[in-house]
Structure 1
């Protein structure tokens, strides 16, 4: 049985930053290596803490070099054909398949097409991400279609067979990664489908969140501020009261990532998501 909504968020979660909406094409660009470009949509450049997310475009017949991180990374194929490899274990990605690599293991991504780019959503559990290039000395192992990763190392989520659950009316969510699924992981995230009329309750988090709208039209409500979103990513700082709703006649989909290990939403009274009921407004009762 779920707990009743809180009348207001805890005072200890009072936010110190505003939300940021970044359309695709308006992010911070970085040429990672020849033929590989990152558009950072949530990160240190817009005040995010503990998290970086964005889109990586890999040119036809190009591979992102094998590398390691000191933090976890999530990779989700949005468009094209690609292989994600972790120390030689190769996963052929279909659209919206997801691979999560904890800190340490070497990994790479290769574009299988010689004519079309591959576009991937990436999330890194750091606001100052770095990488260390390593030699590709790993024997190639083609992982079976039903593989779900390697215990203690990577997790592989096949989108078409992943378990769904309702996070609100007319929604279907998938948990791709969190500390329950991958002990020791620093972040959590997944996929959310909103059918027409689908929405989440008003809520807050005790950490920053990135929400990338990858299909359809979304409306993001933050303390009464209304942000229509299409092909865009939202930064929701810790403590901001918000929710998403699909007011269109078509499905809407998102990839969400929390800068915290568990996907915890603290549900609050719906009035907190209005201008009049904003718990952080000047003069609001504490």
Structure 2
């Protein structure tokens, strides 16, 4: 039987994603989890590039105001609002504030989740961020 693990995001390394955005990987295979999750902080006025995944994803807004662009439609989300995004559907999260950061918690249904950037077609495993 695997023991549970407590994760402290403030003590974990962050992966810089450009434009002041960063991701803090949390649960994944390295601790025995059968899924991936983490926290992404999106800088004021910034956005994550439009992308797809090979599996479903859920995102919860922890702090701030977001615009979730899902399959070409924008949806306003505030603290504790959540989304579910099926595999292969283009999406991104935009910080709707010009002054405050947006913090989201994301979960991928598979530990081998990939991210494909719509603009370039480049595909990488999300877990690469968990190995840093």
TM class by smaller structure = 0.7 to 0.9
Shift of 1:156: 2.5
Residue 172 of structure 1: aligned partner: 22
Aligned residues: 118
RCO greater where, 1 or 2, for CA within 8 Å and sep 6 or more? 2
Residue aligning to 2:48: 200
Q: Write out the 4+ residue segments of structure 1 that deviate beyond 3 Å after TM superposition.
A: none
Query: Gaps (5+ residues) in structure 1?
Result: 1-103, 106-152, 271-286
Instruction: Say which SS state the counterpart of residue 213 (structure 1) adopts.
Output: strand
1:263 shift after superposition: 4.5
1:245 aligns with one of 88, 94, 115:
94
What is residue 104 of structure 2 aligned with on the other side? 254
Q: What's the TM-score once normalised by structure 1's chain length? A: 0.39
In structure 1, what is the Cα distance between the partners aligned to 2:85 and 2:19?
22
What is the RMSD computed on CA atoms of the aligned residues? 1.8
Structure 2 unaligned segments of length 5 or more: list them: 121-132
Normalised by the length of structure 2, the TM-score is: 0.80
| Separation in structure 1 between the aligned mates of residue 19 and residue 57 of structure 2, nearest angstrom | 21
Q: Does 1:233 align with 2:50?
A: no
| Distance in 2 (alpha carbons) for counterparts of 1:157 and 1:210 | 19
In structure 2, distance between residues paired with 1:168 and 1:263: 21
Considering only CA atoms, is the larger Rg found in Structure 1 or Structure 2?
Answer: 1
Q: State the Cα distance separating 1:228 from its structure 2 match.
A: 0.9
Instruction: String of CA shifts for 1:255-282, please: whole Å, max 9, x gaps.
Output: 1000010352111128xxxxxxxxxxxx
> SS of the residue aligned with 1:243?
strand
